[in-house]
Structure 1
Amino acid sequence: MRDLGGERVEEAVAGALALLRTATDRDWDGVRADRLEWNCQRTAEHLAGALFAYAGQLASRPRDAYVPFEITLEEGTDQDGLLDVVGTAAALLVAAFRATPRRARAFHPFPFRSANREGFAAMGVAETLLHTRDIADGLGLTYTPAPELAEYVLTRIFPTVRPGPDPWQTLLWATGRGELPGREPVTEWRWSNNLVLPADRLTLEGVTPAAAADLCAGGDGGFDWLDGGPFEGTLEAAGMMLKAYEAGVHRPEFGLFALVRRSDGHAVGGMGFHGAPDEEVQAEVGYDLVEGARGHGYATEALRALSEWALARDDVRSLFATVEADNTPSQAVLSRAGFRQVSEDLDDEGLLAYQLRR
């Protein structure tokens, strides 16, 4: 899976600048940007500042806060000069993106307090598309970006939004800027970067809908897999997650995680949930490892980390897992992670049931 973040930022900003430069002779101060409280001038300044801030986050990678700086334009800067600043900020974001390792993360508050370089690129594209549309609407211009740009944003930082036939119209609806037949208007929204959970030797990296789709298509999902992985169970989980996303019921915190080894960055397996907690406030977990990673305690370590995180939530009271009667290694993983067998007999599918309560 190619990480197209830099190219997508360049494409989005090039299209935005090409359109907005046709209207630099107009009064941007006196025109409101669509439904925003800002005028067109202030909206363009915000766009430049956001792109610059994302570049700064990737360059310094702070863990707990934004880098404390902002853009200040020289007095008398005209619209052409402002758009030059937007282009410069975008170029800095692209450069920072390409210089940042794929697994590195930096602070961003929504919703899990960090983002990787793909997340920052998607946020940069979103800022560009949406605020260019805001400005264009205020100035009476027509703006329709390439659908691939909107799809890039939706499949990376809008994982709970059910896809629609037109990605651009879906993105506008998801951000309160438009309507979609059969869907209620959106009045409040946040984008969502993927969740990452730390363990001792591993990092559990939340798989985005874009990555799940790539895995289902035979790709690597953006991960460097050990021994030519992923294994069959991870591919099945990616398929389940993609179906949930396409149905609009996916909750990313209860999705699939790739188990990435800290020592070398290799993905050694997959672990996650079969969906959100049920009416009994119980969530089912599953996992597998590539063959070359088995026997090292990775599954136990990851399951302990995932269980601790899940059971600390108000919406999870217990975890549930099933395992084949002859799969003694997996049974041992569950037992070491604190799960207890809750069925003496096999179910209709020949599986034993295990549970871990809060």
Structure 2
Amino acid sequence: MEEAVADCVAALGTVTDRDWGKVRAGRLEWDCRETAAHIADDLIAYAGRLAGRSTAGHLPFTISLDEDTDNAGVLKTIEATGALLAAAIRTTPRAVRAFHSYPFRHANREGFAAMGVAEVLLHTHDIAEGTGITYEPPAELASFVLTRIFPQVRPGPTPWQTLLWATGRGALPGREPVTGWKWSNNPLLHSERLVLEGVTPATAAGLSLAGDGGYEWVGGAAADGTREGAGIMVRQYEEGVFHPEWGMYVLVRRDDDRAVGAMGFHGVPDGEGRVEIGYDLVAGARGHGYATEALRTLSAWALARDGVRTVAAVVERENAPSRKVLARAGFTEAGEEEGRVCYELRG
């Protein structure tokens, strides 16, 4: 957050002598001064929601600049509100969610960080375009935004070019222009003892490379099956076929915020309304009913989606514990091939 704001202030600080109120900000309907004020307003709004743990909706306040505030003063306000959001992000516990309208009505601290950075980068670009200066932020900032709140956008030549295209501000070879867009925070489902947290491309990349993905795992590390599933998600993201709701979910205990495993879909439902599910728990969390609880929750969620009629799972015949999990969750045997048993749960 601090790097994005510092980069914004450095770029726009070179044109504070211009009349921002008379210049349109790129393709926006706002002028450059309105756009700069909007950056500060969004940053303080995000900070307020996150620090105040606001879950019901937008907070009833906004920021306004004194009439005699010059352009340098506007930039100081962006610096201050950016610092407040950065502080809120640093001090908010990992599991906390606060309100954001789209698409799941919540975001965690990483989501708010990505949204804040996006506001700064994109609107700095708009103002730079309006004032006729060149602006390109560090690639890692654009990548941070893309891999957290643009999970369905296939990577392009560079992260910055891709982000501009994804928000209707640029073109990419071989891709249609974007005329409408929204970012997407990760989905979240609750069961009695667990929170099922949808995995972002950034989290998947971390897990696939033997990292912790931002979680504290029971036993110290994710299971091999989770890392393999994360690698599949990374490939889906790179191919542009990643769908957040139909991906992987990390299973987190509500009482201590520790991850016990992962569960997820192999892809979106097929043309017959069938979707396949898989799961994996760390050794230290087995035998407590977590897999059954999560499977019931995720299967019920899937069967409640339009057009989904069947949730399927395929396990080795000799994997008795996994077969018991499926039976307890209401799945029944639907066939067997080469020692692998297919179980189904129908809506």
TM class by shorter chain equals: over 0.9
Question: Structure 1 segments of 4 or more deviating over 6 A?
Answer: none
Among 39, 49, 64, which residue is 1:47 paired with? 39
Shift of 1:309: 1.2
The answer to whether the Cα contact below 8 Å between 1:119 and 1:157 also exists between their aligned partners in 2 is yes
- Per the TM alignment, residue 315 of structure 1 is displaced from its structure 2 partner at its CA by 3.6
Alignment of 1:280-319 (within 5 A): 280-319=272-311
Aligned match of 2:18 in 23, 26, 30? 26
Match of 1:353 among 321, 342, 345: 342
Root mean square deviation of aligned Cα: 0.9
1:224 maps to 216
Aligned position for 2:240: 248
- Are 2:320 and 1:328 aligned? yes
2:72 equivalent to 1:83: no
* Structure 1 unmatched runs, 5+: 1-8
Residue in structure 1 matched with residue 6 of structure 2 by the alignment:
14
User: What's 1:6 paired with?
Assistant: none
Structure 1 counterpart of 2:54, from 53, 62, 77: 62
Structure 2 unaligned regions, length at least 5 = none
2:153 maps to which residue?
161
2:225 maps to amino acid: G
How far apart are the structure 2 equivalents of 1:322 and 1:280? 18
Distance, in Å, in 1 between the alignment partners of 2:95 and 2:174 is 38
CA distance in 2 between counterparts of 1:329 and 1:251 reads 29
Q: Deviations over 1:170-215 (max 9, x none)?
A: 0000000000001111111111000111111110011110111111
Letter in 2 for 1:100: T
Alignment counterpart, residue 151 of structure 1, candidates 125, 143, 150: 143
- The correspondence for 1:233, drawn from 225, 229, 234, is 225
| Aligned residue type for 1:134 | D
Aligned residues: 347
Is the 1:207–1:257 contact (alpha carbons within 8 Å) kept by the matching residues of 2?
A: yes
Query: C-alpha deviations, 1:19-44, integer Å up to 9, x for none?
Result: 11111111111110000010001101
Partner-residue secondary structure (3-state), 2:20: coil
| Equivalent residue number for residue 97 of structure 1 | 89
In the other structure, the counterpart of 2:127 is: 135
CA deviation map 1:206-263 (0-9, x unaligned): 1110111111111011111111221111111101111100000000100011000111
Offset of residue 75 of structure 1: 2.1
TM normalised by structure 1 equals 0.96
Greater CA drift, 75-84 or 40-49: 75-84
1:3 alignment partner in structure 2: none
Opposite residue 67 of structure 1, the aligned amino acid is: L
Q: Which residue is 2:181 aligned to?
A: 189
Q: Provide the C-alpha distance between the structure 2 equivalents of 1:98 and 1:242, rounded to a whole number of angstroms.
A: 27
Aligned residue type for 2:142: A
The CA distance in 2 between the partners of 1:317 and 1:60, in whole Å, is 41
TM-score (norm. length: structure 2): 0.99
The secondary structure found in structure 1 opposite 2:251 is strand
C-alpha contact 1:176 1:188 (8 A) present in aligned 2? yes
